[in-house]
């Protein structure tokens, strides 16, 4: 880990984990779109990083999460949310923040194989942003 002052990623604030996890999630989305051959990935990626789509991803992943991962997801989901985007419900926004928090926590723990496994599972059956493109 880059910062030696924090030896336990569970000690990072849920807001900090969500901030980092947002970036990690978007990186996986961008890779997914580029490898799919999407001609305008920068435009298309915007459909995948909405709270609505991330909330749908959460519903797919929940049965796969370990108890430890559920704890980190809940910690992020339950973080005090003072504002919610107009494009999502408060519940969707909380689930999306929980997902981002989980991705940030897994990243800081060096669990890149698990991140790949979860992201791949979320996109294996169906494209979670499909209804966004119709």
Distances (CA, A) of 44 to 26, 66, 129: 12, 31, 10
pLDDT at 7: 72
d(CA 32, CA 28): 6
pLDDT at 26: 94
Catalytic pick among 4, 8, 22, 127:
22
d(CA 24, CA 118): 12
Query: In the annotation, is 4 catalytic?
Result: no
pLDDT at 134: 45
- The CATH H-level superfamily of 12-125 is Ribonuclease III domain (1.10.1520.10)
Q: In order along the chain (134 residues), what is the average pLDDT of each group of 10 residues?
A: 62 91 94 90 86 92 96 89 72 93 95 96 76 50
């Amino acid at each position: 880990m880059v910062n030696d002052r924090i030896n336990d990623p569970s000690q990072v604030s849920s807001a900090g984990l969500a901030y980092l996890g947002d970036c990690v999630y978007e990186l996986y989305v961008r890779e997914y779109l580029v490898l799919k051959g999407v001609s305008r990935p920068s435009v298309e990626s915007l459909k995948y990083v909405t709270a609505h789509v991330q909330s749908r991803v959460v519903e797919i992943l929940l049965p796969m999460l370990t108890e430890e991962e559920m704890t980190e997801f809940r910690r992020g989901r339950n973080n005090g949310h003072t504002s919610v985007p107009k494009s999502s419900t408060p519940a969707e926004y909380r689930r999306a923040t929980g997902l981002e928090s989980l991705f940030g926590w897994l990243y800081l723990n060096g669990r890149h194989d698990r991140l790949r496994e979860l992201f791949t599972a979320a996109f294996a059956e169906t494209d979670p942003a499909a209804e966004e493109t119709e």
